Amino acid sequence: VLLDVGDNGIDSEGCVCLATSKTFSRLTFLNLSYNTIDQMGAKSIAKSKVLSKLRHLDVSSNPIGREGSLSLK
């Protein structure tokens, strides 16, 4: 299941919603590029049990910083 929400004004609070909502439990591809996601948002995605099926994640052009980036590895 694919979700492409690049360049949609999604911030870290939106990431927390994505990461915790069972609605998104079947996602395998998630494009979050060109939004305003910071370190907190990246960490919420990295820790998410809901997004365990995710195989592709694009968070390019977001201010996630070094710690946010490392949390996603």
Q: pTM for this one?
A: 0.94
* Residue 19's pLDDT band (cuts 50, 70, 90): very high
Strand ranges of the sheet holding 29-31, from the earlier edge strand across to the other edge: 2-4, 29-31, 56-58
Burial of 59 (0-12, 13-18, 19+ CB in 10 A): buried
pLDDT tens-place string over residues 26-67: 999 999 999 999 999 999 999 999 999 999 999 999 999 999
Over its C-alpha atoms, the chain yields an Rg (Å, rounded) of: 11
CA 39 – CA 58 distance, rounded (Å): 14
